[in-house]
C-alpha cells in the first residue's frame, strides 16, 4: 500500500506538472507594407536555416502577390534575412519559381506554399500546390490532374533554387486532385517526411485528407505510402490539413466549411476519427472555413486560429484576429484560459498564415493583411506583412533538432551493466558502445557514442536520471536496453523486481520524453541468457521471465513506431543454429568482447538509419 501511495503521488505530481501552462509573450514586427490597388503581398511563410550559432539562424520567407482576383497569385517570391540582427531583403522572384506560360494562354503557377528545413540533406524544401490559370486569373480544372502537389529545393550554399517538380502520387482516381496547400508538413528524425494531403477525384469532389510518407535525397521527393483516409460528409469535406509531432504522437488540424476538426495518431499514418475543435469548457471553438496551424514546444502544444465571438463580425469569415492557445493533448481541447491574441485585427482578414519554430527561444507566426473589405483601410489596415515573434518563457528543446547536419553527431547508450560493458575480461574499447563509434567512423560518419550504462539498473531508475545523464548531452539518438534486471527474480523472492506492466509503461515514457526533446530513441531487447545460467529465485531459467519483458519491449517499439534492435531474437537464432551463446559471455549473462562485437554489428545499420544524416 505504501508503494502504491507513493506511485500515485508521483503520477499526480507529473500530471500537475504537465498541466502547468507554458507562458509566452508576443513581439509583433512589420516586414512589409503594400496596398497600391494592384496587388497585395500574401501567404507569407517562413523557415529557419541553421548556422554555426543555433541561436542566430538565417531566415527565408516565401510570399506571393495576390492579384486582386480570388485565389490568383504570382510566382513565388522570396525574402531572406542573414541573421536576426540583419534587415530583410527582397521580395525577389527567382526565375525557377515564376509562372510558366503555355501556348494555349494558360499559366501554370503555384500557391499556398510552406517552406521547411531538411537537416539531413542541408536543403530547404518548399512544398505547395500547382494551379492552372486562365488569362483572366480563374483557376482551371481543364486537364486530368491539374491540381497536384509540387516542390522546389533551395541549396543555401549556392543560393540556387530548383524548378518546381510534381510529387508523383498513386494512379488511383482519388489522387486526381491531391494538394499539400497551406499545410504544415514535418521531417522525422530519420529524414523521411510526413506530408498531409487533401485529395479527391476532381476539384468539384468532396475532399478527404490523408498523410503521405515521403523520402527526400536532397534533390527528389519520393512518395512511399499513405495512411488512413479521413472523410467527412459535410460541405466540402476535410481540407488544408496541418500536421505536428508532440510527445511521441502526431496531431492533425483540419479545415471544414462549418467548423474545424482535429485528429491524432501514434504513427503519423493511421489517424483517429476527427473530433470537433472545442474549448476545454465544452463550447465550440468557433473556427470555421479557414485554416488552423500548430506551434509545438517541448513543454506544450499550441493552436493558432481565428474564430467567431471576438467583436469581429465585420471581418470576412471572422478571419481576424489571430489567436494562440495551448491544447490539451489528452482531450484534444483548447485551453480557453491560455488564449492570447498574437496578431490584432485592424479591419483586414488574417486567414492565410504560417507558423514555424525559429530557435530555442522563439517561434514565428507570419501573416499578411487581406484588404478585402471596403473599410479595411479606414479601420487601420495597411496591407502589412507581420512576423509575430512568440517569445517562450522556457527554452524549446524541440528546436534543437534543427541544428546543422555538419555538426558532430552524438549518440548515448542508456542501459544496465550489459550496456556499461566494462568488467573483468572486457575493456572500455571492447564494449558495444565503443565498437559502434568505431564502426560508424569506418563508414565516414563522425559521431561520438557516450556510454551511460549503470550496473543493476532498471527502467524506473533510468527515468529518474534521464534529464541529468541523457537530455543534458543533447544527443541525436539514444539507444535504450533494459529488461534483464527488471524481469529478474531475486533469491528468496517470488516476483520480478518490477512488473511487466511497469516495465512497459517505463519504456513508453522513456521514448516519449526523448522524442519531446527532439531526440530519436532506439529500443533494444536484451541478449538472451546462456543455457547454463543459474536459476532465479523461483527456480526458473532467467529467460522464462526475460522473454515476457522482451515481448513488451517489442510491443512498445511497434506501438510507438520506434526503431528496434532485437538482440534477444538474434541470440536465440544463433543458439538454435548450434552456437553456444554462453561463449559470448563472461558469466552466461554479461557479454565478453565477442558478445559485444555481435551486439555492435546488429546495432550499426539501425542506429545509422536513425541518425539525421544524408544516405
In the block, residue with C-alpha cell 488540424: 253
pLDDT per residue as tens digits for the range 90-134? 999 999 999 999 999 999 999 999 999 998 889 999 999 999 999
For the chain, the domains span 20-401, 408-610
CA distance 465 to 276: 39
Name the more confident of 97 and 401: 97
Instruction: Decide if pLDDT at 16 tops 70.
Output: no
The pLDDT-based confidence of 486 (bands split at 50, 70, 90) is: very high
Report the pLDDT value the prediction gives residue 33, as an integer from 0 to 100: 96
CATH of domain 20-401: 2.120.10.10
Q: Is the pTM of this model over 0.85?
A: no
What would the mean pLDDT of 571-585 be, rounded to a whole number?
Answer: 97
Cβ contact 318:310 at 8 Å: yes
What would the mean pLDDT of 328-352 be, rounded to a whole number?
Answer: 97
Contacts of residue 443, defined as CB under 8 A and 6 or more positions apart, other chains included, come to 608
The pLDDT-based confidence of 443 (bands split at 50, 70, 90) is: confident
What would the mean pLDDT of 334-353 be, rounded to a whole number?
Answer: 97
H or E element that contains 525:
strand 520-525
pLDDT per residue as tens digits for the range 237-292? 999 999 999 887 899 999 999 999 999 998 888 899 999 999 999 999 999 999 99
Question: What's the full length of the chain, in residues?
Answer: 615
408-610 under CATH 3.40.50.1110, yes or no: yes
Choose the most confident range, by mean pLDDT, from 100-104, 196-200, 202-206, 472-476: 196-200
What would the mean pLDDT of 143-161 be, rounded to a whole number?
Answer: 96
Helices then strands (H, E): number in the chain? 9, 33
Q: What b/e readout covers 477-511, taking b as 16+ CB neighbours within 10 angstroms?
A: bbbbbbbbbbbbbeeeeeebbbebebbbbbbbbbb
CA distance 508 to 552: 10
What would the mean pLDDT of 163-172 be, rounded to a whole number?
Answer: 96
Determine what percent of the chain is predicted with pLDDT higher than 70: 95
pLDDT per residue as tens digits for the range 25-55? 999 999 999 999 999 999 999 999 998 888 8
Instruction: Decide if pLDDT at 615 tops 80.
Output: no
CA distance 57 to 388: 17
Report the pLDDT value the prediction gives residue 279, as an integer from 0 to 100: 98
Instruction: Decide if pLDDT at 2 tops 70.
Output: no
Amino acid at each position: 500500500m505504501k508503494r502504491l501511495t507513493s506511485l500515485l503521488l508521483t503520477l499526480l505530481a507529473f500530471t500537475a506538472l504537465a498541466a502547468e501552462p507554458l507562458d509566452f509573450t508576443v513581439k509583433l514586427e512589420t516586414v512589409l507594407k503594400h496596398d497600391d490597388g494592384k496587388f497585395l503581398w500574401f501567404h507569407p511563410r517562413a523557415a529557419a536555416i541553421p548556422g554555426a550559432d543555433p541561436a542566430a539562424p538565417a531566415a527565408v520567407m516565401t510570399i506571393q502577390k495576390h492579384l486582386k482576383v480570388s485565389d490568383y497569385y504570382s510566382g513565388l517570391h522570396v525574402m531572406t534575412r542573414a541573421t536576426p540582427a540583419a534587415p530583410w531583403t527582397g521580395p525577389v522572384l527567382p526565375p525557377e519559381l515564376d509562372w510558366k506560360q503555355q501556348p494555349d494562354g494558360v499559366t501554370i503557377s503555384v500557391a499556398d506554399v510552406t517552406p521547411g528545413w531538411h537537416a539531413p540533406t542541408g536543403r530547404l524544401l518548399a512544398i505547395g500546390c500547382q494551379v492552372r490559370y486562365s488569362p483572366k486569373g480563374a483557376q482551371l480544372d481543364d486537364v486530368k490532374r491539374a491540381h497536384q502537389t509540387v516542390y522546389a529545393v533551395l541549396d543555401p550554399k549556392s543560393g540556387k533554387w530548383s524548378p518546381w517538380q510534381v510529387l508523383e502520387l498513386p494512379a488511383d482516381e482519388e489522387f486526381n486532385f491531391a494538394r499539400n496547400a497551406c499545410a504544415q508538413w514535418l521531417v522525422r528524425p530519420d529524414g523521411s517526411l510526413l506530408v498531409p494531403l487533401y485529395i479527391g477525384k476532381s476539384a468539384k469532389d468532396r475532399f478527404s485528407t490523408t498523410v503521405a510518407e515521403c523520402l527526400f535525397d536532397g534533390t527528389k521527393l519520393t512518395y512511399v505510402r499513405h495512411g488512413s483516409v479521413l472523410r467527412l460528409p459535410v460541405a466540402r469535406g476535410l481540407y488544408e490539413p496541418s500536421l505536428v509531432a508532440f510527445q511521441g504522437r502526431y496531431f492533425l488540424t483540419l479545415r471544414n466549411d462549418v467548423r474545424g476538426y482535429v485528429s491524432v495518431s501514434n504513427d503519423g499514418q493511421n489517424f483517429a476519427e476527427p473530433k470537433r475543435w472545442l474549448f476545454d469548457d465544452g463550447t465550440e471553438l468557433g473556427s470555421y472555413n479557414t485554416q488552423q496551424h500548430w506551434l509545438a514546444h517541448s513543454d506544450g502544444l499550441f493552436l493558432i486560429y481565428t474564430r467567431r465571438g471576438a467583436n469581429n463580425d465585420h471581418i470576412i469569415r471572422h478571419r481576424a484576429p489571430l489567436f494562440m492557445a495551448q491544447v490539451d493533448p489528452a482531450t484534444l481541447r483548447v485551453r480557453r484560459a491560455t488564449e492570447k491574441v498574437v496578431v490584432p485585427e485592424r479591419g483586414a482578414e488574417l486567414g492565410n498564415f504560417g507558423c514555424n519554430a525559429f530557435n530555442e527561444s522563439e517561434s514565428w507566426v507570419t501573416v499578411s493583411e487581406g484588404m478585402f473589405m471596403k473599410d479595411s483601410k479606414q479601420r487601420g489596415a495597411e496591407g502589412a506583412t507581420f512576423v509575430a515573434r512568440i517569445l517562450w518563457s522556457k527554452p524549446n528543446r524541440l528546436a534543437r533538432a534543427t541544428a546543422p547536419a555538419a555538426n558532430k553527431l552524438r549518440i548515448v547508450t542508456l542501459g544496465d551493466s550489459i550496456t556499461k560493458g566494462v568488467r573483468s575480461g572486457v575493456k572500455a574499447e571492447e564494449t558495444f558502445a565503443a565498437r559502434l563509434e568505431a564502426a560508424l567512423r569506418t563508414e565516414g560518419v563522425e559521431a561520438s557514442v557516450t556510454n551511460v550504462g549503470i550496473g543493476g539498473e532498471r527502467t524506473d531508475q533510468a527515468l529518474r536520471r534521464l534529464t541529468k545523464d541523457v537530455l543534458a548531452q543533447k544527443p541525436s539518438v539514444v539507444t535504450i536496453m533494459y529488461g534483464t534486471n527488471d524481469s529478474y527474480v531475486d533469491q528468496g523472492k517470488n516476483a520480478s523486481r518490477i512488473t511487466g506492466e511497469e516495465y512497459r509503461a517505463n519504456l513508453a515514457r522513456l521514448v516519449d520524453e526523448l522524442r519531446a526533446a527532439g531526440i530519436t530513441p532506439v529500443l533494444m531487447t536484451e541478449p538472451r541468457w546462456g543455457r547454463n545460467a543459474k536459476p532465479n529465485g523461483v527456480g526458473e531459467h532467467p529467460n522464462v521471465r526475460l522473454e515476457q519483458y522482451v515481448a513488451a519491449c517489442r510491443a512498445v517499439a511497434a506501438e510507438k513506431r520506434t526503431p528496434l534492435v532485437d538482440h534477444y531474437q538474434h541470440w536465440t537464432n544463433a543458439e538454435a543454429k548450434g552456437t553456444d551463446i554462453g561463449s559470448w559471455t563472461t558469466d552466461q549473462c554479461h557479454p565478453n568482447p565477442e558478445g559485444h562485437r555481435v551486439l555492435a554489428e546488429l546495432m550499426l545499420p539501425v542506429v545509422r538509419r536513425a541518425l539525421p544524416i544524408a544516405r
